Amino acid sequence: MDRIINPLATHIQTVKRRLMVMGATILAALILTFSFSAEMVAWLNRPFRNQLAFYGPTEALFASIKVSFLAAVILSLPIIFYQCWKFIEPALLPKEQRWAIPLFFVAGGLFALGLVFCNLVILPLVIDLFVSFGLDRDITPQLSVGTYIDFNVKFLLIFGCAFELPLAMTLAAMTGVVSAQVFARYRKHAILLCLIVSAIVTPDATLFTMLLMAVPLMVLYEVGILGARLFGRSRDNNRIDLPLDPDLPMGTAGTRVR
């Protein structure tokens, strides 16, 4: 029993230590990026084109902290990816461990692509749609900075993390945990899960924003299946062939008797 508990305890301690390193890195980056929070709020305010307002003494402060947190996560990505890589590295074969540096660039590129896609396509579309809906009814838009920044930051983080889905699926196939055939077999379940996740994580509960999140997730899932097929570990690599002694007799099923 101790042999089972001790490795488990060591594994939990390793996870805890790596999470603490990532948390400390994000906190240090948050302190650094907070001084540029005003410029970042102005950047996110571009699709709205109106002056934001705040209706509570601390609303502007917490909005600045949220946008600084987003920037801190982006700056901390190298450390976050490195800690995640060191966590899964023991499960990989030596030839698969050579993918470390390319994976760093792929993970960072996918996260950045998710941010760019959300900032240039999704957010302007959503904000313009909802603001135009009010303008058509002669309602003057006056958005609070807290609500607006919270809406933007959540969307950006969600899409940045969502674009890591193909990489996560490919890594799972590389380690032999799941094969591309399993991903393809459960495609219908994945589509349903994309809809459920989109309904939960999107900042508002409208069908339009849910679909804007669910459809890219479905496309990313298909990309992940392709990556799992190209780079996944085959079943033959997972099978362990023990050396056989030719002097041992053959069993009735045609296998060596040990």
Does residue 250 sit in helix, strand or coil?
Answer: strand
How many Å is the maximal CA-CA distance in the chain? 92
Q: What share of the chain is helix, strand, coil (3-state, %, to 5)?
A: 75, 0, 25
pLDDT in tens, the chain (258 residues): 445 557 777 778 888 899 999 999 999 999 999 999 999 998 888 877 778 888 888 899 999 999 999 999 999 988 988 888 888 777 777 776 777 778 788 888 999 999 999 988 888 888 888 888 777 777 877 888 988 888 888 889 889 999 999 999 988 888 788 888 999 999 999 999 999 988 887 766 678 888 888 899 999 999 999 988 988 776 555 444 444 444 544 444 444 444
Q: What is the pLDDT of residue 255?
A: 46
Q: Let me know: does 160 contact 118? Beta carbons within 8 Å.
A: yes
Q: What is the pLDDT of residue 24?
A: 95
Does residue 241 sit in helix, strand or coil?
Answer: coil
Q: What is the pLDDT of residue 240?
A: 42
- Angle (deg, nearest 10), helices 145-162 and 100-117: 140
Q: Let me know: does 248 contact 257? Beta carbons within 8 Å.
A: yes
Q: What is the pLDDT of residue 166?
A: 92
Domain chopping of the chain, boundaries: 2-163, 171-234
Q: What is the pLDDT of residue 203?
A: 66
CA–CA separation, 257 vs 248, rounded Å?
Answer: 6
Q: What is the pLDDT of residue 218?
A: 93
Q: What is the pLDDT of residue 108?
A: 87
